[in-house]
A and B are shown apart, each in its own frame.
Chain A
Amino acid sequence: MEEIYAKFVSQKISKTRWRPVPSGSLQTAETFATGSWDNEENCVSLWSIGDFGNLDSDGGFEGDHQLLCDIRHHGDVMDLQFFDQERIVAASSTGCVTVFLHHPNNQTLSVNQQWPAAHHHTGPGSPSYSSAPCTGIVCDNPEIVTVGEDGRINLFRVDHKEAVRTIDNADSSTLHAVTFLRTPEIVTVNSIGQLKIWDFRQQGSEPCQILSLTGDRVPLHCVDRHPNQQHVVATGGQDGMLSIWDVRQGTMPVSLLKAHEAEMWEVHFHPSNPDHLFTCSEDGSLWHWDASTNGPEKSSLFYQGGRSSTFLSHSISNQASVHQSLISSWLSTDPAKDRIEITSLLPSRTLSVNSLDVLGPCLVCGTDAEAIYVTRQLFS
């Protein structure tokens, strides 16, 4: 975790996202998108961290990120997702959801599609129309699911003008984030501390499952699903607590880890190394949680029964222990056995870190101190 480059960019960054690399390719992440907030004119920008050979005109170093193009965005950028290689979906505080298209030939961004009243408190038809911020998006080509402060869930499909499905008043409080569980199922988190699972195959506007913490209903701000284990979900709350849930079992989280001192804004499992988790918070820190157990620990589980074993052993008890150690260190209820190493990645405490994204060995994050940090050596 040696070199992390910081660049001040004259806008408070609310979201940063890596552009996905084509699957099966050996490329590493090279381009990322950012959204700004709290400006009179916000914008969605694309940046590149490609190698530049020489120092460029303002003395930036090779690792320094350069602005490729940007486009004005009406309202704060509340969430940002890459829909595919060229299209970016942005959620606005005005309740509008916009799809931007990137043209690589002339390095410009343009508006491809827009749903201007995706989220509202009272509808556009009524005289007292009031919009509501759209707070979260998740994309799975060709579908886009959005949630907002109006407690509404929308299912859009690109190139369809109207929403394919809308669940009005899905929640009486604000929905803060959404992610896919299995493709027709999504999970949302809200400001009274509940995880709700919705199945689009079912009609009606009731969730098929509700999970929550007992005790104080601390609002949950972010949610992410384990890349391989579709039942493992991590959430971050207003008190900075990281919770890991198993949606198959019960209604309570499996583990609660005291993490940050203030709201946790984003939590991400690393897409290819899911034993690594990243969180960022209002308290100005970004943490790397490393739950990969080291060699001897793992093999001690194999040798549990006193006999030598290999991965191919068929004995049931062995299978169970293999199963357990391979599946997920996150679900272990014994924090002493599976040590989690936590590292703070930013060199000094700053204003809130609003967003982060990881892809391969690269990490990007954006802060309220108007700086973007990039590192390309996460696992060095």
Chain B
Amino acid sequence: MEELDCEPAITWIPGVNSKKKQMCFDWGPGEMLLCETSFSKKVDTSEKVPSCPFIYIVRKDVDVYSQILRKLFNESHGIFIGLQRIEEELTGKSRKAQLVRVSKNYRSVIRACMEEMHQVAIAAKDPASGRQFSSQVSILSAMELIWNLCEILFIEVAPAGPLLLHLLDWVRLHVCEVDSLSADVLGSENPSKHESFWNLVTVLVLQGRLDEARQMLSKEADANPSCASMCRILGDLMRTMPILSPGNTQTLTELELKWQHWREECERHLQDSTFAASPRLEALCKIMLGDEATLLEHKELLSNWYHFLVTRLLYSNPTVKPIDLHFYAQSSLDMFLGGESSPEPLDNILMAAFEFDIHQVIKECSIALSNWWFVAHLTDLLDHCRLLQSHNLYFGSNMREFLLLEYASGLFAHHSLWQLGVDYFDYCPELGRVSLELHIERIPLNTEQKALKVLRICEQRQMTEQVRSICKILAMKAVRNNRLGSALSWSIRAKDAAFATLVSDRFLRDYCERGCFSDLDLIDNLGPAMMLSDRLTFLVYHSAGISPDLLFLKVCL
């Protein structure tokens, strides 16, 4: 066993005085039952402290009970099933495109959840729950960030060139204050005089949105004729920056050459002090040359190290190869944090992704997140991309199956989401079936309709033992409630001759006690089912009062 990564968290149980009394507990599938015992800790206690009369259920996974996250579980279940079903059809070139589409589906579901939770957080009446929802939103946002990066690096497998474009999109999607800032500034009467104007222009350049930055500059040029020529020159530089566009057919080498050439032009302007009169414009030019010191001066605008990384790459090495990413990533992280703070779990996860260490990504995510949903679905998708080596874990199954089993078991602990869990077990080839067999027998059946659904699940998977045992339980309940027709119908479904005999005995006993048959219509109309048990046949025969030959005919019709 590995060592613990951190100290275990302490959970205080309300009402239990753990200083005076001992607690006892028992593990369940996803929860723990706990109560106070009457054994006291100290040997001699003169005062009798009243014990807490409650039994507590301690749940680790509270996410399963969130109303909004339930939508995530249900929608992603549909996507998961769809992915497993199209697996056979996924061949050749379209395979990658299909897998990317599945990945985007998952991400859009996360985003939809995030939006909804955000709305709820805003509308929350008390600040505590508002904070809780907001922290959930940031967790979902982090999940989507990680998933998006994994999609770019592992599923899309973008080569040098398009890689940077994808990373730019990634950053633009997740650092989204730009849009509200832009709306603010443009909406004001005098945009170039707005206090955040230069911040906005800088952020646009940092994100590589040079067209929009150029438009901003032209507004500044209009308002401030003295720096109009400088703005124009800088705007030209922005316009002419060579960038790989998706449909472009130029090779990487060509792009690299053009880009070097453009860079030299920017250098020249700097050397000639073209922008000396406006320190802001000069700073922009330095950013466009990828000057790290200038970039780091705008830490608040960058807001995180991966934005810094992407901007650095954009302006100093746009044709970066995927395998070189992690050098830049590590140095960006170090430079951005500057030794003041240590990396957070999210940073470690992203770094592991840049290093193409999938297992590390999954391991770190499993530790950091409280619910198995994310790692289970991501690992399954990566497994379909054939990226996971099938190294076995301690307990015989591979990582994908392990995570799916954990996730599905968590679903079974929920009173309602167990139905989703069934399908996940179906796609775990080694331990799925046996896990399902164990779990499905423990679902409480309070109505016949629920029992029918469970039985249908068992029958579809040829789990005859479970069908038998469930039907027997229901038949016993029916007999106890004097619903002999129901009891018979359950024993017929289970093809349980022994039970059919039991029910017939009850009918006969009733007859002996009352002198007439109750429920004659049931016995009369059994049809071939009455052959299930000798006693039953006798019962039908006797109640009908007809000769054996006619009885034979009756059975056959």
* Chain A interface residues (CB < 8 Å from chain B): 8-12, 37-40, 57-59, 76, 78, 93, 121-122, 130, 132-133, 135, 149-151, 171-174, 190-192, 194, 210, 212, 214-217, 219, 238, 262-263, 282, 348, 350-352, 368-371
Q: Which residue of chain B has the shortest Cβ distance to A39 in the bound complex?
A: B416
Q: Are B78 and A172 in contact (CB under 8 A)?
A: no
B59 to chain A, nearest CB (A): 13
- Provide 30 A-B residue pairs closer than 8 Å at the C-beta atoms, listed in order of the A residue: A8-B71, A8-B74, A8-B75, A10-B68, A40-B415, A76-B449, A76-B450, A121-B482, A122-B481, A135-B448, A149-B483, A150-B481, A172-B486, A172-B519, A172-B521, A173-B483, A173-B485, A174-B489, A192-B522, A210-B525, A216-B527, A217-B525, A262-B456, A282-B453, A282-B456, A369-B77, A369-B78, A370-B70, A370-B74, A371-B74
Q: Are B486 and A174 in contact (CB under 8 A)?
A: yes
- What is the minimal beta-carbon distance from A253 to any residue of chain B, in angstroms? 14
4 tightest A-B CB contacts, nearest first = A173-B485, A172-B485, A172-B519, A121-B481
- Closest Cβ–Cβ distance, residue B211 to chain A (whole Å): 27
CA–CA, A299 to B119, complex, Å?
A: 59
Distance between Cα atoms of A173 and B448 in the complex (Å):
11
A38 touches B74 (CB 8 A): no
Taking CB atoms, residues of chain A closer than 8 Å to B416 are 11-12, 38-39
- Closest A residue to B73 by CB, please name it: A370
Q: Which residues of B contact A262 (CB under 8 A)?
A: 456
A348 touches B82 (CB 8 A): yes
- In the bound complex, do residue A263 and residue B448 qualify as a contact, i.e. CB atoms below 8 Å apart? no
Which residues of B are found within 8 Å of A8, using beta-carbon distances?
Answer: 70-71, 74-75
The residue in chain A whose Cβ has the minimal distance to the Cβ of B486 is: A173
Q: Which of B115, B448, B456, B527 contacts A149 (CB 8 A)?
A: B448
Q: Please tell me if the beta carbons of B485 and A192 are within 8 angstroms of each other in the complex.
A: yes
List, in ascending order, chain B residues with CB within 8 A of A174's CB: 448, 483, 485-486, 489
**Interchain nearest-CB distance for A50 vs B (Å):** 21
Interfacial chain A residues near B481, Cβ < 8 Å: 121-122, 130, 132, 150
- Report whether B519 and A78 are in contact in the complex, using a CB–CB cutoff of 8 Å: no
Give the residues in chain B near A58, CB-CB below 8 Å.
115-116, 119
Residues of B near A191 (CB, < 8 A) are 448, 485-486, 489
Would A150 and B529 be within 8 Å (CB), given that A133-B447, A174-B448, A263-B452 are in contact? no
Contacts of A38 on B, CB cut-off 8 Å?
415-416, 450
B419→A217 contact, CB < 8 A? no
Candidates B449, B483, B484, B527; contact of A215 at CB < 8 Å: B527
A263 touching B483 by the CB < 8 A rule? no
Structural contact, A368 and B486, CB atoms closer than 8 A: no
Give the A-B contact count at a CB cut-off of 8 A. Answer: 125
Q: Give Cα A166–Cα B429 distance, bound, in whole angstroms.
A: 53
In the complex, chain B residues whose CB is within 8 Å of the CB of A10: 67-68, 70-71
Find B446's partner among A57, A93, A215, A350 (CB 8 Å cutoff). Answer: A93
Are the CB atoms of A217 and B527 closer together than 8 Å? Answer: yes
Chain B stretch 49-91: residues in CB contact (< 8 A) with chain A: 67-68, 70-71, 74-75, 77-78, 82
B183 is an interface residue with CB less than 8 A from chain A:
no
Query: Known interface pairs A348-B82, A370-B74. Does A151 touch B485 (Cβ–Cβ under 8 Å)?
Result: yes
Identify 5 new A-B residue pairs, CB closer than 8 A, beyond the known A149-B486, A370-B71: A10-B68, A58-B119, A149-B448, A369-B74, A371-B74
Q: In the complex, A192 Cα to B449 Cα: how many Å? A: 15
* Residues of the A chain whose Cβ atoms lie less than 8 Å from the Cβ of B527: 214-217
Contact in complex: B415, A149 (CB < 8 Å): no
- In the complex, whether B526 has a CB less than 8 A from a CB of chain A is yes
Min CB–CB distance A202 → chain B (angstroms): 16
Tell me the smallest distance from the CB of A124 to a CB of chain B, in Å.
15
A192, B525: Cβ atoms closer than 8 Å = yes
User: When the two chains form their complex, are residues A215 and B528 in contact, meaning their CB atoms are under 8 A apart?
Assistant: yes
Nearest-CB residue, chain A, relative to B66? A10
What 0/1 readout, one digit per residue, does chain B (398-418) give for beta carbons within 8 Å of chain A?
000000000000000001100
Q: How far is the CA of A59 from the CA of B488 in the complex (A)?
A: 53
B518 at interface by CB-CB < 8 Å: yes
> Which residues from chain A contact B382 at a C-beta distance below 8 Å?
none
B557 within 8 A of A: yes
CB-based nearest A residue for B522: A172
B419 touches A351 (CB 8 A): yes
User: A58–B67 Cα gap in the complex (Å)?
Assistant: 16
> Among B82, B119, B419, B483, which residue has its beta carbon within 8 angstroms of that of A172?
B483
